[in-house]
Amino acid sequence: MFKFLETFMVVYRTHSFSLAAQQLFITQPTVSNQIKQLESQLHTELFERKSRRESVPTPAADILYKRSAKILDDWHDIHTEIVDLQASKKAHVRFGISQTISRILFAKIANQLNLTEPHINYDVTVSNSEGVLTQLEDYQIDLGIIEKPLVTEHVKRISIGKDQLVKAGTPTGTWITREAGSGIGYYTEQYFREADIQPIRLIHVNNSGLIRRIVSTGVGQALLSSRDVPENVQVETLGNTFIRDFYLLVRDEDLQVPLLTSVTELITQVSKKMTI
């Protein structure tokens, strides 16, 4: 049942059995069979097949989708509690972080966790800012740390620190930026608008480390955190307009969970030490 719900949620988001199969690394007939079994158990149709490539959710699917993420999260918690009970009884937190956070902040958080909260086990998933928010909404993670100012219902956004963006690289007319949904991509578009810049060539890269390496070769320019600029690369300060916040994301319902409250306080303390 739980596997069927996971498959259902991917089909619901993509409106496509074939795309869902690609994302889940299973065959399309397997996706179709799982959805059929779920429909059989619920005695209702979940998707209206418009074409071979498009499947439109029915009202019943809308209801199921709203509940599925919570059902799967509850199941994950039950599974985790049992595993922890059978193993070392250690606490467990699932982090989702953006790539910039992974490069300049999370290692310090991990070090502090190791020093002061060694009983806590944790997993870390790296994505772009919008991907982290989606994972939190879908109960795939417990806490998110991002740099894009996203707002959504039922998720608390807490500012935990500041970061200065700079323009780095050689002015060749080429710009390197991140994909849509990322913090760097968001602020790069903002800079283009404010500075009235029309790049001769725009290269999208979904990896911040690769952007740094490309910039270091002299190919072009990119917006980077002042803490993440390669050595010997030309830098231009952008001023207070491009001082951005780092944000901690937590679901409203989890604000009073003792474990997450403790970790949130630790993250805030570590971040405050990184003043610009």
- Locate 1 and state its tokens: 């049942």
Q: Distance between CA atoms of 98 and 249, rounded to whole angstroms?
A: 12
Judged against a pLDDT cut of 80, whether residue 195 lies above it is answered with yes
Per-residue pLDDT at 275: 61
Q: What is the DSSP letter of 254?
A: G
- If one compares 180 and 97, the residue with the highest pLDDT of the two is 97
pLDDT band at 239 (very low <50, low <70, confident <90, very high): confident
Rounded mean pLDDT of 187-195? 95
- How far apart, in whole angstroms, are the C-alpha atoms of residue 119 and residue 90? 6
Domain ranges across the chain: 2-72, 82-161+244-272, 162-243
HSE value, Cβ hemisphere, 13 Å, CA-based, for 268: 12
Q: What confidence category does residue 2 fall into, taking pLDDT thresholds of 50, 70 and 90?
A: confident
> Hey, do 2-72 and 82-161+244-272 end up sharing a CATH topology, with the first three levels equal?
no
What span, in angstroms and rounded, lies between the C-alpha atoms of 117 and 33? 45
User: pLDDT digit string (tens) for 134-175?
Assistant: 999 999 999 999 999 998 989 999 999 999 999 999 999 999
- For the domain with range 2-72, which CATH number is right: 3.40.109.10, 3.40.228.10, 1.10.10.10, 3.30.930.10? 1.10.10.10
pLDDT at residue number 4: 87
Q: What percent of the chain has pLDDT over 70?
A: 95
> CATH for 82-161+244-272?
3.40.190.10
Domain 162-243 has CATH 3.40.190.10: yes
3-state secondary structure of 233: coil
Q: Rounded to 5 degrees, what angle do the CA atoms 95, 154, 94 make?
A: 10
Tokens of 145: 């740390």
AA letter at 185: G
Q: Does the predicted TM-score (pTM) go above 0.95? A: no
- What 3-state DSSP class applies to 240? helix
